[in-house]
Amino acid sequence: MQRMIIDTDPGVDDAHAIMMAFAHPDAQIEALTTVAGNVSLERTTANACTILDMLGKDVPIYAGCQSAFIGADGYDAAEVHGKDGLGDAGFPPSQRRVEAEHASQALVRLANESPGEITLVTIGPLTNVAVALKLDPDLPQKFKKLVAMGGAIRAQGNTPNLSAEFNFYSDPEAAHIVFEAWPELTLISWETTVAHGFSQETLQTWLEMDTPRAEFFKRITRKTIDFITALLGHPMLFGADALALAVALEPDIVEEAEKRHVTIELHGQHTRGQTVVDWMGLSGRTPNTNIILKVNYERFLELMTQGLA
């Protein structure tokens, strides 16, 4: 049984990923820690409660950082995920209780209580993890592994800084702190996400499933599909966060990966938040990142479908 903590900013694709994780027979989700990102911390935390209500699962939720490591610029992804972060689907407020402990403190405590046993999966900005590292610099040795969704490894980003990906652009300092501190983490990038997108035919199959989870998927995802259709000219969907969970849940799903040194650009009018990969080994620095390039696509689809069953 794989023990996991999911650090998340729900978010439509966060919801997809969390559904996948709870449906997997070999996963034991210890906690959700929330962070501001796709929408505000208040909304991401409320959305985590809504997702667990729908799943009927009782695991603790710890609310974390409400702004980036050194401040906030007000940037979010409400245009993609809806103002409420769940497709403006209009779910009623949850009555679920959120833990009083801050997410960063909870990450430190949980890692120290079970050293080497818990995988940390981050599918939002890395603010909570960066703060946790300041509280406990030995944290990387206490988690079993870190699997992170973020970065544009070939500078093909999805933010106003065109070479930067959303999660790392939202808090470059936090991402920089994590990459400098972690001896080796596993990274699922935006380019890898795009290479494993879901076609219109696959989407239609999921939208026609008749289960409570599939109905939830349908309600929260319509707005995102409409946004992508307007942008690209045809319906499809990207499963960035679900892809990270798939890699964490089943490491054997990976078919191609490269270990390289990665750092995060903190300056530059057009490059702040960019993921800088030493593809040629020119820096002389030890590789600190296992960059996932390709997974078994059919198995990824099966895991997504399992999450909706």
Place of tokens 């903190």: 266
Encoded tokens for 49: 């409660």
Q: Which amino acid is at 285?
A: R
Catalytic residue among 9, 14, 76, 84: 9
Place of tokens 């009083």: 100
* Residues 221 and 308: beta-carbon distance below 8 Å: no
For the chain, the three-class secondary structure string (H helix, E strand, C coil) is CEEEEEEECCCHHHHHHHHHHHHCCCEEEEEEEECCCCCCHHHHHHHHHHHHHHHCCCCCEEECCCCECCECCCCCCHHHHCCCCCCCCCCCCCCCCCECCCHHHHHHHHHHHCCCCEEEEECCCCHHHHHHHHHCCCHHHCCCEEEEECCCCCCCCCCCCCCCCHHHHHCHHHHHHHHHHCCCEEEECHHHHHHCCECHHHHHHHHCCCCHHHHHHHHHHHHHHHHHHHHHCCCCECCHHHHHHHHHHCHHHEEEEEEEEEEECCCCCCCCCCEEEECCCCCCCCCCEEEEEEECHHHHHHHHHHHHC
| Active site (annotated) includes residue 210 | no
Encoded tokens for 4: 């996991």
Give CA 201 to chain center in angstroms.
25
**Catalytic site residues?**
9
